[in-house]
Amino acid sequence: MSKRCEITGKGVLVGHRVSHSNIKTNHRFLPNLQTKRFWSAEMKKFVAIKVCTSAMRTIDKLGFDMYCRREGFKLS
Protein backbone atom coordinates (compact mmCIF):
# COMPACT_ATOMS: atom_id res chain seq x y z
CA MET A 1 0.00 0.00 0.00
CA SER A 2 1.78 3.12 -1.17
CA LYS A 3 1.74 6.42 0.71
CA ARG A 4 0.65 8.45 -2.32
CA CYS A 5 -2.45 10.49 -3.10
CA GLU A 6 -4.29 8.91 -6.04
CA ILE A 7 -5.35 12.26 -7.50
CA THR A 8 -2.55 14.75 -6.85
CA GLY A 9 0.36 12.31 -6.60
CA LYS A 10 1.57 13.85 -3.34
CA GLY A 11 3.91 11.37 -1.61
CA VAL A 12 6.52 10.90 1.09
CA LEU A 13 9.20 13.58 1.56
CA VAL A 14 12.57 12.93 3.23
CA GLY A 15 14.36 15.33 5.54
CA HIS A 16 16.04 15.64 8.93
CA ARG A 17 14.93 16.00 12.50
CA VAL A 18 17.28 18.53 14.10
CA SER A 19 17.92 18.30 17.82
CA HIS A 20 18.77 21.18 20.16
CA SER A 21 22.47 20.24 19.78
CA ASN A 22 22.05 20.36 15.96
CA ILE A 23 22.35 16.58 15.49
CA LYS A 24 20.50 15.58 12.33
CA THR A 25 18.67 12.25 12.06
CA ASN A 26 16.74 11.02 9.07
CA HIS A 27 12.98 11.51 9.06
CA ARG A 28 10.14 10.70 6.65
CA PHE A 29 7.38 13.28 6.28
CA LEU A 30 4.21 11.35 5.41
CA PRO A 31 1.27 12.96 3.62
CA ASN A 32 -2.03 13.12 5.49
CA LEU A 33 -3.90 10.45 3.49
CA GLN A 34 -7.48 9.41 4.13
CA THR A 35 -9.63 6.80 2.36
CA LYS A 36 -12.78 8.66 1.37
CA ARG A 37 -15.88 8.01 -0.73
CA PHE A 38 -16.91 10.74 -3.15
CA TRP A 39 -20.11 10.89 -5.17
CA SER A 40 -19.48 11.11 -8.92
CA ALA A 41 -22.42 12.68 -10.74
CA GLU A 42 -21.02 11.59 -14.13
CA MET A 43 -20.75 7.92 -13.13
CA LYS A 44 -23.78 8.06 -10.78
CA LYS A 45 -22.03 6.10 -8.03
CA PHE A 46 -19.63 6.48 -5.10
CA VAL A 47 -15.91 6.27 -5.80
CA ALA A 48 -13.58 5.28 -2.93
CA ILE A 49 -10.08 6.70 -3.27
CA LYS A 50 -7.07 7.41 -1.07
CA VAL A 51 -6.70 11.19 -1.09
CA CYS A 52 -4.71 13.80 0.87
CA THR A 53 -6.62 16.24 3.04
CA SER A 54 -5.50 19.27 1.03
CA ALA A 55 -7.14 17.74 -2.06
CA MET A 56 -10.27 16.95 -0.01
CA ARG A 57 -10.64 20.65 0.83
CA THR A 58 -10.46 21.60 -2.85
CA ILE A 59 -12.92 18.83 -3.79
CA ASP A 60 -15.38 20.29 -1.26
CA LYS A 61 -15.11 23.67 -3.00
CA LEU A 62 -15.18 22.57 -6.67
CA GLY A 63 -16.93 19.21 -6.62
CA PHE A 64 -15.41 15.80 -7.33
CA ASP A 65 -16.02 15.61 -11.08
CA MET A 66 -14.72 19.11 -11.83
CA TYR A 67 -11.62 18.60 -9.66
CA CYS A 68 -10.79 15.31 -11.41
CA ARG A 69 -11.12 16.97 -14.83
CA ARG A 70 -8.86 19.83 -13.72
CA GLU A 71 -6.17 17.43 -12.40
CA GLY A 72 -6.40 15.08 -15.38
CA PHE A 73 -7.59 12.13 -13.27
CA LYS A 74 -9.48 9.57 -15.38
CA LEU A 75 -12.75 8.30 -13.94
CA SER A 76 -13.60 4.77 -15.05
Q: How far apart are CA 27 and CA 47, in angstroms?
A: 33
Q: pTM of the predicted model, to two decimals?
A: 0.78
- Per domain, the residue ranges of the chain are 32-76
pLDDT along the chain (76 residues), means of 10: 89 97 97 95 93 95 92 80
Residue 1 has a pLDDT of: 66
Is CATH 2.30.170.40 what the domain over 32-76 is classified as, yes or no? Answer: yes
- HSE-up (13 A, CA, CB side) for residue 20: 0
d(CA 53, CA 51): 7
